[in-house]
Copies of this chain bind each other. A is one copy, B any other.
Amino acid sequence: MAIDDLSDGEKLPSIRSLSKTLEVNNVTVINAFKMLEQEGLVYTVEGSGTYVRKPLKNYGLMNLEEGDFELMLSGIYPHSKPNVDFASVTPSPDLFPIKEFKESLIEVLDRDGGNAFSYPEIRGYEPLRESISKFLLDNYSINLSVDGILITSGGQQGLDIISKTLIEPLDVVFVENPTYPGAYQAFKSRGAKIIGIPMENDGINIEILKSYLKRYSPKFIYTMPNFQNPTTICYSEEKKRELLRLAIEHDFYIVEDDFLTDLTFNNSILYPVKSYDRSEKVIFIKSFSKIFMPGIRVGFLTVPEDIFKDVYKAKHSTDISSSGYLQRAFDLYLRNGYWINYIENIRENYKKKYDLFTSELDKLSNLGISYIKPNGGLSVWVNLDDDISQTKVYEDCLKLGLATVPGNVFSVDQNSYINALRLSFSTPELDEIPLGFSILKNVLSNIKNEDKRTYMPFV
């Protein structure tokens, strides 16, 4: 019997009767129920039994045909611009180091003349690859030669190139659930069968990952171990190491997408999984769009030697090469030693917003929400109680001028249960934050006060 044959709220047979029917041990049934619950497919009512949880069908990555959410995620709104934007994870332009970067831009023109605009190497401007190699060593203790680095036109292109290199139609790819829609689209566009593994508070659910590894041989797992999008969860070091161990044992790649590792607010140092990798199992994709400037469109990926030629070819057929001029300017910016001060400055600035944001959020704790403090990143993942519909909250907030993102936008399949909001503090000004929360409080209070029966959750 497939999950689709069951109705929402339908009671499953008892553990005892099921173990009898299937002629298996009680413990086996208990474990199976536990796994279904971890995947969000059923829920248990103490003393009563286990019930089917029919998932929300309206949104989710499967249903993004209209594209509205993608637009919204990119900071472009389908209808009108909201008053307060907790939706887009767009860095604030006033934090961009325009003065210093302008210096580099002009210096490159004076130094290189027309060569600054000729075809750069396909794999990227060599001096920039040197600077990146140094950046990796200084920041993440990753020791990598310039030949293992490919410059891309932003992080998304890294995903596109890896998809072209590794995915043939019907290949299996594992992703975290929820996950980043841009990655999902890149894999889906290549015809991949995409399987979501639930996230927990300290990273991916390793038990479910292991159970899927018995059934599938994925080409790779796509993961964001530090400040994951959308949950802003960081993997524990144990889970990072366990993931790497499994990749070696089962021979799949880890495609590690890193866009915010550098943005910690509590002086802790986070390491990517790539830092532990001694066997070229991790393909590390770095975007500078959020921690530097989106408009620079420079990112990179680290390339295992055995797929280098294929990656190189995919890059060529994607856009020949990334802008040599911006590569040269970014290289000079890094060489001029501006990075450390810059990153300290944005940490300080975003921390101010984060502190205010979380203190405002804490005030709403009695309105059916819960969250874990990420101590970094640019968003907070707010879980909603079962009797509060994320769709309702999202829509009501938008009507009052507050943009949020309902969590199910990031869900990988229709069977996963996600009832949450992603709230980001990167775009709003400091003084807009309380205004946004007054709207959210308003909406949540109204829902709380109205007759619950008129609101079917997940409808």
Name A residues whose Cβ lies closer than 8 Å to a Cβ of B. Answer: 67, 70-71, 74-76, 90-96, 98, 101-102, 105-106, 109, 113-122, 153-154, 156-157, 159-160, 164, 169, 182, 185-186, 189, 191, 289, 293-297, 309, 312-314, 316-326
List the B side residues contacting A325 at CB < 8 Å. 295-296, 326
From B74, B90, B109, B117, A293 is in contact (CB under 8 Å) with B117
Q: Is the CB of B316 within 8 A of A120?
A: no
Q: Provide the bound-state CA to CA distance between A160 and B90, in Å.
A: 26
CA distance A96 to B297 in the complex (A): 22
Complex alpha-carbon distance, A71 and B322, angstroms: 15
**Chain B residue nearest in CB terms to A185:** B317
- By the criterion CB–CB under 8 Å, are A320 and B117 in contact? no
Candidates B119, B295, B323; contact of A119 at CB < 8 Å: B295
For A105, list chain B residues within 8 Å (CB).
Answer: 105, 109
Contacts of A324 in B (CB 8 A): 294-295
A410 nearest CB across to chain B (Å): 15
CA A321 – CA B297 in complex, angstroms?
A: 8
Q: For the complex, what is the distance from the CA of A262 to the CA of B98, rounded to whole Å?
A: 36
Residues on B with C-beta less than 8 A from A185 are 313, 316-317
Q: Are A169 and B191 in contact (CB under 8 A)?
A: yes
Q: Are B323 and A295 in contact (CB under 8 A)?
A: yes
Could you jot down 16 A-B contacts, CB within 8 Å?
Answer: A74-B119, A75-B119, A94-B113, A98-B109, A98-B116, A117-B296, A120-B295, A153-B297, A156-B316, A156-B317, A156-B318, A157-B318, A160-B318, A294-B320, A294-B321, A295-B325
Q: Which residues of B contact A320 (CB under 8 A)?
A: 74, 154, 156, 182, 289, 294
* B295 engages A160 (CB within 8 Å): no
In the complex, chain B residues whose CB is within 8 Å of the CB of A294: 117-119, 320-321, 324
**B186 and A317: CB pair below 8 A?**
yes
Residue from B96, B117, B321 in contact with A117 in the complex, judged by beta carbons closer than 8 Å: B96
Distance in Å from the Cβ of A334 to the closest Cβ of chain B?
16
Contact A93 B74 (CB under 8 A): no
Cα A365 to Cα B252 with chains together (Å): 58
Please give the distance in Å from A119's CB to the nearest CB on chain B.
Answer: 4
Please determine whether B317 and A189 come into contact, CB atoms closer than 8 angstroms.
Answer: yes
Do the beta carbons of A94 and B114 come within 8 Å of each other?
Answer: yes
Q: Residues of B contacting A314 with CB < 8 Å?
A: 189
Given contacts A295-B324, A319-B154, A319-B319, contact A117 B102 (CB under 8 A): no
* CB proximity of A412 to chain B, nearest CB, Å: 16
Not counting A102-B106, A326-B326, a sample of 13 additional A-B residue pairs whose C-beta atoms are within 8 angstroms of each other reads A67-B313, A70-B313, A74-B119, A74-B316, A93-B117, A96-B117, A98-B117, A105-B105, A117-B295, A118-B294, A157-B318, A185-B317, A318-B318
Q: How far is the CA of A293 from the CA of B323 in the complex (A)?
A: 10
Shortest CB distance A192–B (Å):
13
Which residues of B sit under 8 angstroms from A116, Cβ to Cβ? 98, 295
List, in ascending order, chain B residues with CB within 8 A of A114's CB.
Answer: 92-96, 98, 293
